[in-house]
Structure 1
Amino acid sequence: MDFFDGILNNKIFLTSVLAWFIAQSLKVIHTFVVDKHFNVSRFVGSGGMPSSHSAFVMALTTAIGRVHGWDSGIFAISLGFALVVMYDAAGVRNAVGKQAIILNKIIEDVHHKKEKKITEQRLKELIGHTPVEVVIGAILGIIIAKLVI
């Protein structure tokens, strides 16, 4: 069995990808409902409701726990990995997004004052997640893994 056959037959990995796919699809739907416009780019974008990072890692962790046992070493590794990813999504990446908002405002102010032309493009502001987006993504991942595995 080669690498690609292994991946395509790995139910744990495919469950995680399914959780990611559903979370990304829900972002498109959420944007349509909240902002009243269809934005298909939300399917591949980071940030927003729900966290697809959280859905992926918690589906992975839950599937590993169900298959290999909640007391297995691989479950412990996966859970540690999931906690780091979710902390990063809600903490560090969210802070970067807030900084991008402030920097974009500074750039706009400089442009309006015509003091000096800044050629940098606007920074992406929707990078991280709120804690609620992370928790909803994590719950989504757990539910999907429980349904599939």
Structure 2
Amino acid sequence: MGELLSNQVLWTAVLASVVAQLLKLFIYYWVERRWEWERLAETGGMPSSHSATVAALATGVGITEGVGSAFFAIAVVLAIIVMYDATGIRRAAGLHAERLNDLFEEFRAVFAHGPRPEPLKELLGHTYLEVAVGAVLGILFAFLSFTLV
């Protein structure tokens, strides 16, 4: 258990994710001028916490194991897959959910007694900017973490 608690690479990645999620809350407040606590648990938005997590993980592995190591290669490939998925499949699923929700609203307007399905979650993926900001945040966070400790 002591090894797990002292794993700096792991905790750097976890804390980068937490910081990114907290930033979402404050960015939303700055833009909308209201708190929306649900932002702490959402998967989409600025910045991408998934990107921050895997970028911090890959950077931490690169710092501790070297950029020529197999561990670094694995971490970088994982990071690329996660970030690609965030801007691709998850983003497309969010856009589909948005359009389906619009269709349900139109259907309700025409048929007052129609079905009332629960709205689909729309904020699933990320724009390229959200992923890039998350990745930069993760990299900077890892360098800070390993520099200060």
Instruction: Work out whether the TM-score is over 0.5.
Output: yes
Residue deviations 1:91-127 (CA, integer Å, cap 9, x gap): 1111111101100011011111117622321001111
Q: TM-score, normalising length from structure 1? A: 0.94
Does 2:57 correspond to 1:60?
yes
- Residue 63 of structure 1, CA deviation: 0.2
Supply the distance in 2 between the matched residues of 1:70 and 1:116 (Cα, whole angstroms).
Answer: 61
Supply the distance in 2 between the matched residues of 1:19 and 1:99 (Cα, whole angstroms).
Answer: 29
Supply the distance in 1 between the matched residues of 2:137 and 2:80 (Cα, whole angstroms).
Answer: 15
1:122 matched residue in structure 2: 119
Counterpart amino acid of 2:43?
Answer: S
Counterpart amino acid of 1:96?
Answer: A
Q: CA RMSD in A?
A: 1.1
Q: TM-score, normalising length from structure 2? A: 0.94
1:142 matched residue in structure 2: 139
1:39 matched residue in structure 2: 36
Counterpart amino acid of 1:11?
Answer: Q
Identity between Structure 1 and Structure 2 (%): 42
Residue deviations 1:9-52 (CA, integer Å, cap 9, x gap): 11000000110011001000000000111112111111000000
Structure 1: gaps (5+ residues): none
Structure 2: gaps (5+ residues): none
